[in-house]
């Protein structure tokens, strides 16, 4: 078991520091994980369009061109990069897109149900390295962040994000900002 944990930690660190992500504004076709919340309680004000308090991930397009999201996948496991294929959403240049965990079936037009992924993040898993991963259709990791060993990233009703948007600096967000620019500490 110890070897699994050590191997997982090494793998996560390798992905976070060596994934080759370049967040410069001229990177069209790149999508970054910008902010996430893994413990959204039923008492927080952060709810999806059908009033559920799921985990959420905010994506950011730092490039000068729009990005078609159906070419990307979201996962929490390195061994299953294509866990959830994103839909035909387009993120405009400099734009943000918010994804919620859970499954909605609201087709009334008041809730865009295709912005939900069908798994949650296990913030209390001591065996597996918990992470958020974006990969492309070729199976290449575009961006990833591990929250193993970062207590601030797993604190209830707290988000963890890049500040400023798209930068290399991650920190606890003073106020979670799902779908809007991060405000930092």
Contact between 8 and 129 (Cβ < 8 Å): yes
> pLDDT value at position 21?
39
pLDDT confidence of 173, banded at 50, 70, 90? confident
Per-domain residue ranges of the chain: 2-172
Q: How far is residue 108's CA from residue 174's CA, in Å, rounded to a whole number?
A: 34
Burial 118-148 (b: 16+ CB within 10 A, else e): ebebebeeeebbbbbbbbbeeeebbbbbbbb
Segment (H or E) for 72: strand 72-75
Q: CA 157, 102, 63: angle at the middle one, nearest 5? A: 75
The pTM of this model reads: 0.74
| Bridge partner list, 160 | 36, 172
Which tens digits make up the pLDDT trace of 12-57? 333 333 333 333 333 347 899 999 888 777 777 777 766 777 788 8
> pLDDT value at position 84?
84
Residue bearing tokens 């912005």: 115
């Amino acid at each position: 078991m110890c070897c699994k944990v050590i191997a997982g930690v090494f793998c996560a660190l390798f992905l976070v520091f060596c994934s080759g992500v370049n967040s410069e504004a001229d990177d069209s076709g790149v999508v970054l994980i910008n902010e996430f919340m893994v413990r959204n309680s039923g008492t927080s004000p952060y709810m999806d369009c059908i009033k559920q308090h799921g985990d959420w991930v905010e994506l950011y397009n730092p490039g000068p061109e729009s990005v078609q999201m159906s070419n990307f996948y979201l996962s929490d496991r390195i061994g299953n990069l294509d866990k959830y294929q994103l839909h035909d959403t387009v993120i405009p240049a400099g734009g943000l897109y918010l994804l919620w965990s859970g499954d909605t079936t609201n087709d009334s037009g008041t809730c865009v149900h295709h912005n939900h992924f069908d798994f949650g993040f296990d913030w209390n898993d001591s065996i597996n390295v918990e992470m958020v991963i974006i990969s492309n259709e070729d199976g290449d990791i575009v961006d990833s962040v591990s929250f193993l060993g970062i207590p601030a990233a797993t604190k209830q009703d707290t988000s963890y994000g890049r500040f400023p948007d798209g930068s290399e600096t991650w920190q606890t967000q003073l106020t979670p900002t799902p779908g809007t620019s991060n405000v930092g500490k």
